[in-house]
Structure 1
Amino acid sequence: MKAITTTGWGPNTKLILSEMDAPAKPGPDDVLVDVHAASVNPKDWKLNFHLAMAATPVGTQRLPPIFGDDLAGVVIAKGANVRHFEIGDAVYGMDMRLRTASLAEQARISQHRVAKKPKNLSFNEAASLPLAALTALQGLRKGGAQAGKSVLIIGASGGVGTLAVQIAKQMKMHVTGVCSTRNLDFVRALGADALIDYTKGDYRKTAGEFDIVFDVTSYETPLTCKALLGRKGHFISTGGQGMSMLATPLYRVLGKKADTVVVESYRQDLDTLADMVEQGTLKPIIDSVFPLEDSEAAYERNRSGRCRGKVVIEVLAD
């Protein structure tokens, strides 16, 4: 089968199209999926983990040489214990235990890490959701999201941010989005109640206090956002950058409310997201679509920092 692997090591690693063996038959709790689409996530390059350590042991297992976490596709085989899916079901999801290896024509994944694809989405749209939407949903929950609370979403025009704005509005929160000048109207259209243009000055000193500060860019820390939090504010980070990864747990040790989102892929949360999509309260935002053979260009687009929503890699055209 065709799949995306790497050549070389370190930050100059390139993604290449290769011929690989198809996955082995599914285990008792697994499904085998014909992959129609996958998507790019900043964690792939922010942590320089997938690129630099594609063949490095993790515990007793080695990371799969095939890239990609999110997938959407069709079940073509299933294990003996699989009760939630049938052959031919359209599914979407990801596996955060190691890597889904979704940038390939076929992928094997646990039945507990996928859900039925929202009926009103294409495979490309569904593939854009799992990691970003789960990060948004679980991050807001961790911050204690509830109706009437205020949330500041830093990076509101990106892959996680566009979904966090919509999910927070569905939770009936007061949402303020931080983005650049060119994205103000775009984020407003997603449902944000208020907007901050970060190019106009240091809003961190002047924007007031919020119940939740959700930094989906991973560039901020509880200390840089201290004036936004007040005494009771809760800082949430996606944690992909060094200072944020270090400062957030240290801040919590001091008795402050600060957390990093550690995403878990559960079928129940994927079902919740699918319900939101089918009810019209959540819409995936796709920045661009690349064919499988242009995966390197898709990652370059994601690294540009100018994406509105998610970059999708189409494995099999709808």
Structure 2
Amino acid sequence: MSPSIPSKMKAWIYNEYGGLEVLKFVSDVGVPEVKDDQVLIKVVAAALNPVDFKRRLGKFKAVDSPPPTVPGYDVAGVVVKVGSQVKGLKEGDEVYGDINENSLEQPKRFGSLAEYTAVEERLLALKPKNLDFVQVASLPVAIETAYGGLEKAGFSAGKSILVFGGAGGVGSLVIQLAKQVFGGSKVAATSSTRKLEFVKSLGADLAIDYTKENFEDLPEKFDVVYDAVGQGDRALRAVKEGGSVVVISGAATPPAFYFGLTSNGEILKKLNPFLESGKVKPVLDPKGPYPFDKVNEAFAYLETNRATGKVVIFPINP
């Protein structure tokens, strides 16, 4: 390690699967070694995702890397060391990305809820200049999931889409990408009563209050239904003949298909111009950002399923 990089760091860690009580804030975790194709990032901000708490609860035990685990997929920070094979990044670069190439299969034991994390160059992109670290930390997992699901569903200009959970981390970006990047003709989305206006502000042409209306009763059907909340069977009743249903959690009955994210920095690079132009905006939960020593409180809030957009942790290195 260079003199400015310590050998130990502060991090959140759990040594066994379980509820919030297994999460511990410690100050003596070893700073990860950097492999040839990786960079070491000094973490400035990180975001929480449902996959983080599902993993901690042991739902992916069969394919997970065994604890002890430092959680966290989304990262934004500064490159402080580069591996020998790294070509496109250098020390001092401000970057962001999802640190786990495969979300569920052997994800890293050293995640982003730490002062430093090591990440493959191919999973990262340079931070858009107009956004701060908190904003970009909120993006990688959600925007790559939103984009990848739309792409796999064959969504394209002129098609219609219904998004379940339009105010959530993934749903809020599906709405924006469907409209701004893919050129969808009609974007409908479900949300609770108090989030209807918010969903419209993201670009939804039709906001459906799921507490009062059944979208299955709508006279029109949609080319694509993007289920970001886990109601796959209901989605099948809202899709046109020959259409596609994207499911990102829970069971998928054909023609629905399950979309599992493979992290890829190229998607972030492709979407950076839309972020820099302001056509696509990060969506941050108003309760955040949570400081680094309150990660357990941030998880408790995320696990209520009431968050709007993303829950971000900042600053990591006060």
TM-score for both structures, normalised by structure 2: 0.88
Alignment of 1:111-260 (within 5 A): 111-170=121-180, 171-173=182-184, 174-206=186-218, 208-218=220-230, 220-221=231-232, 223-239=233-249, 244-245=250-251, 248=252, 251-252=253-254, 256=255, 258-260=256-258
- The CA deviation at 1:7 is 5.8
Rounded Cα–Cα distance in structure 1 between residues aligned with 2:118 and 2:15:
23
Q: Using a 3 Å threshold, how does the CA distance of structure 1 residues 64 and 277 change in structure 2: closer, same or farther?
A: farther
Aligned: 1:50 with 2:56: yes
Deviations 1:172-200 (A, max 9, x none): 11110111110111111111111111111
Which letter does structure 2 place at the counterpart of 1:275? P
CA gap of 1:105–1:186, structure 2 versus 1, over 3 A, is: same
CA contact (8 A) 1:6 1:51 kept: no
Shift of 1:317: 6.1
- Distance of aligned partners of 1:207 and 1:138 in 2 relative to their CA distance in 1, 3 Å threshold: farther
Which residue does the alignment assign to 1:312? 312
Residue segments in structure 2 that go unaligned for 5+ positions in a row:
1-8
SS at match of 2:190: strand
1:86 aligns with one of 77, 86, 90? 90
Provide the C-alpha distance between the structure 2 equivalents of 1:157 and 1:260, rounded to a whole number of angstroms.
Answer: 21
For residue 174 of structure 2, what is the amino acid of its counterpart? A
Distance 1:71 1:129 in 2: 9
- The structure-2 alpha-carbon separation of the partners of 1:8 and 1:207, relative to structure 1 and needing over 3 Å to count, comes to farther
Q: Is the 8 A contact 1:92 1:115 kept in 2?
A: yes
Judge conservation of contact 2:13–2:68 (CA < 8 Å) in 1: no
Q: Answer with 270-279 or 293-302: which moved more.
A: 270-279
Contact 1:128–1:310 (CA under 8 A) maintained in structure 2:
yes
- What is the 5 A alignment of 1:89-108? 89-96=93-100, 97=102, 98-99=107-108, 101-108=111-118
Distance in structure 2 (CA, Å) of the matches to 1:49 and 1:207: 39
> Is the CA contact (8 Å cut-off) linking 1:104 and 1:315 kept in structure 2?
no
Alpha-carbon distance, 1:259 to partner: 1.4
**Quick one: which of 32, 41, 53 aligns to 1:33?**
41
Which residue does the alignment assign to 2:76? 72
User: 1:76-131: per-residue Cα shift (whole Å, max 9, x none)?
Assistant: 00011101101000000012231361000000010011111111111111100000
Find 1:5's aligned residue among 6, 13, 34: 13
2:5 aligned partner: none
* Residues 209 and 233, structure 1, Cα contact 8 Å, conserved in 2: no
Q: Aligned partners of 2:17, 2:68: CA distance in 1, in Å?
A: 15
Aligned twin of 2:290: 290
Report if the CA contact (8 A) 2:137-2:312 is conserved.
yes
Match of 1:15 in 2: 23
RMSD: 2.0
Letter in 2 for 1:284: P
Counterpart amino acid of 1:195?
A
Matched residues in 1 for 2:195 and 2:302: separation? 16
Provide the rounded CA distance (Å) in 2 between the counterparts of 1:118 and 1:207.
41
SS state at 2:280 partner: coil
Q: Secondary structure at the match of 1:177?
A: strand
Deviations 1:188-235 (A, max 9, x none): 1111111111111322233531000001112x12x3223211321211
In 2, the alpha carbon distance for the partners of 1:53 and 1:152 equals 28
State the one-letter code of the partner of 1:42.
P
What's the CA shift for 1:58?
Answer: 4.3
- Provide the C-alpha distance between the structure 1 equivalents of 2:72 and 2:269, rounded to a whole number of angstroms: 21
Count of residues paired in the alignment: 300
Call closer, same or farther: CA 1:272–1:78 in 2, change over 3 Å: same
- Secondary structure in 1 aligned to 2:306? coil
Q: Which moved more, 1:263-272 or 1:83-92?
A: 263-272
1:302 aligns with 2:312: no
Do 2:290 and 2:298's aligned partners in 1 also have CA atoms closer than 8 Å? yes
How far apart are the structure 2 equivalents of 1:116 and 1:136? Answer: 20
CA distances 1:237-260 after superposition (whole Å, capped 9, x unpaired): 112xxxx32xx1xx33xxx3x211
Alpha-carbon separation, structure 2, partners of 1:227 and 1:122: 41
Match for 2:276: what amino acid? E
Once residues 177 and 211 of structure 2 are traced to their aligned partners in structure 1, the CA distance between those partners, rounded to angstroms, is: 25
Q: In the alignment, what sits opposite 2:266?
A: 268
